[in-house]
Amino acid sequence: MELNIPIPEDIQVTVEGNKFTVSKDQQSLDRAFPVRVVSITVKDREVIIKSFSEVARSRAMVGTFRAHVNNMIKGLQDPFVYKLKVCAAHFPMTVKRVGGEVQLQNFLGEKKVRKVKISEDVNVKIEGQDITISASDIEAAGAAASKIEQMTRLCKKDRRVFQDGIFMTEKAGKKI
C-alpha cells in the first residue's frame, strides 16, 4: 500500500532515518516514526508513505502516519486553536498565566492555588472568562487544553449542584 501527500510550496519536508521534519519560515515540527513496517520518503514535492506488506496492521500504520503528516502540515499553515470557558456558579475564579504555567485561584472557595505546567510552544491567551490555546502541534495544543480542563475536575460531588469549572467549547476549530 502506498499513499502520496502533496507538499505545499511554502513548506519544507526532510526525512533523516526515522525522524520526519516539517518546517516553514522559523517554525519546525519534527516527529520520530520508529516503525519498521512503513517507510517514509520525500520525492518531487510529495511525501510517499509505503508499507512493506498488505497486512491490516501495516495498512493501519500507513493511515496513521498520513494523519500525523497532514496535521503537521496543517499546523504550520494555520495553528490549531482550542477554546475553553471558565464557568463559576458559586465562587468567582481567577485564571492567569504565570511563566510556564496556568494558575487557578479560588476554585470552589479553595485557598490553595491550582497550577498546571504548559509547554513552551503553546500560546495561552486569557481574556475574562475565555481561554484560547493555540499551537502548531495539535498534540501539544490538545494536551494543554485537557490539562487545564482536568485541573477543575471534581470527584465524589454531584455535577448538577457543583457546576463550577473550566470547560472546552471548541476543539481544533470544531464546536463541541
Asked if 137 contacts 121 with a C-beta cutoff of 8 angstroms, the reply is yes
139-161 pLDDT, tens digit each: 999 999 999 999 999 889 888 88
Q: Which residues belong to CATH 3.90.930.12 in the chain?
A: 2-77, 80-175
Name the fold adopted by 2-77: Outer Surface Protein A; domain 3 (3.90.930)
pLDDT score for 157: 85
Residue 70 has pLDDT above 90, yes or no: yes
pLDDT score for 26: 86
In terms of Cβ atoms closer than 10 Å to its own Cβ (0-12, 13-18, 19+), residue 35 is: middle
Q: Which of 38, 1, 6, 42 is nearest to 21 (CA)?
A: 42
Region at 70 (left for phi over 0; alpha for psi -120 to 50; beta for the rest): alpha
23-47 pLDDT, tens digit each: 998 889 999 987 788 888 899 899 9
What is the pTM (predicted TM-score) of this model? 0.88
Residue 108 has pLDDT above 80, yes or no: yes
Distance CA 84, CA 166 (A): 6
CATH number, span 80-175: 3.90.930.12
Retrieve residue 176's grid coordinates. Answer: 463541541
The mean per-residue pLDDT over the stretch 60-81 comes to 93
The mean per-residue pLDDT over the stretch 99-123 comes to 93
- Using alpha carbons, list the distances in angstroms from residue 143 to 58, 59, 83, 125, 137: 27, 27, 13, 16, 10
AA identity, residue 116: V
